[in-house]
Amino acid sequence: MEKFVIEGGYPLSGELTPSGNKNEALPVLAASFLSDEVIHYKNVPRIRDVEVLCQIIVSMGGTVDWLGHNEVKICCKGVNSGHLDPALCQRIRASILLAGPLLARVGEVRLPPPGGDVIGRRRLDTHFHALEALGARVSVRDVYELSAHKLTGADIFLDEASVTATENAIMAAATATGTTIIRNAACEPHVCALARLLNKMGAQISGIGSNQLVIEGVDRLGGAEHEIESDYLEIGSFVGLAAVTGGALTVNRIKPESLRMIRMVFERLGIYTQISGDQLFVPAHQPLKIRPDYHNHVPKVDNAIWPAFPTDLMSIAITIATQCQGTVLFFEKMFEGRMFFVDHLQAMGAQIILCDPHRVVVVGKQQLRGAKVQSPDVRAGMALLIAGLCANGTTEIYNIHQIDRGYERVDEKLRALGAQIQRLPAMK
């Protein structure tokens, strides 16, 4: 086990090229199971979740050939079973994404409950209902067992616009017999990217970018080449990090349309950015003053389905708000456990009121002080990194494998921007 040791108080400035999007990488890699041919992926983030998913592919008879640090060719021609390794599946939440493609490929899946972040209940009902609509039989016990002689297209209305359930349904329907309509579909950028990859493999998917997808099933899918887009969640994290430390930052290879709501929310916290082409610039010495609503009401930041503010940046925004003048309410609508990390921020000197599992009030600005903290999940871990980098004194962050699950070489990137951060063994 390792820890991060951080000396806070240094402005972070320079230039950043973000890694590929974790939330895109996992479903598109899972889509490899739908073909006997080689899929060539570029800009793949070398993070723990990706490494584990690649191990699962190999354990099932597939091949994974890294051509460079961020480029890989995957072939699943040798896969003929849907039985997954329990130890590997319990290390990542994304193992649930294998249900759809494996059901389509071999007609059966034996899936241990997935692992991942501890941020509250993450229901799988939407996945199973969608797959049942396509003809699957589902048995939910200690292990999830799914089977189908032949998947058949259906008109599916998802009971929630779940990203991963939409992705599972798309992959299962791509080679099903007949037409599938997925209504109330998630339309995040990574969902769209998966659909575009499947079309390159020979699928017939229309409605990409909307909440209604139409999929005409095809007999087989072939090989393709796919480049993963930059991670807009990493971009948002580093924008906030530069702002609260007072530095100037240039971020390359952005997609402006993926950052609209993030930039809008950050402006309410007093962080202003400039976009030129595929570059985003964060000027030094941001105002960091919370903009109240009209009539001087306390503003609210809440999350919702795309294109609203993403839940994955809620922890980041809360930490940023501790360094902004004013008061703001955060309302986390999706996960009842995501807010519990704020006790670490309180220990560092933040003024935060935990109203209930879904709402916190942040009163800033408060000078944070270094402390020993634990990372409970990927995004809270990055939030604590930001807190440590703008705090007085030394911060030690434990359980950092959670951060490594979602951020590639984060300590190297931070050092390149001027951070005083070390990765050290976590002594008992």
Is the Cβ–Cβ distance between 230 and 262 less than 8 Å? no
Q: Are strands 394-398 and 359-364 parallel, antiparallel or unpaired?
A: unpaired
Using CA atoms, how far apart are residues 292 and 268, in angstroms rounded to an integer? Answer: 8
Clarify whether 356 is annotated catalytic: no
Burial class (CB in 10 A: 0-12, 13-18, 19+), 142: exposed
The CA angle 239-243-245, to the nearest 5 degrees, is 120
Out of 49, 85, 117, 343, the active site residue is 117
Please name the helix (run of DSSP H) or strand (run of DSSP E) that holds residue 56, with its range, or none. helix 48-59
Q: Fill in the DSSP letter of residue 111.
A: E
Using CA atoms, how far apart are residues 32 and 20, in angstroms rounded to an integer? Answer: 18
DSSP state string for 318-369 = HHHHTTSBEEEEEE--S-TTGGGGHHHHHHTT-EEEEEETTEEEEEE----B
Closest alpha carbon to 229 in 420, 428, 426, 41:
41
Q: Which residues are known to be catalytic? A: 117
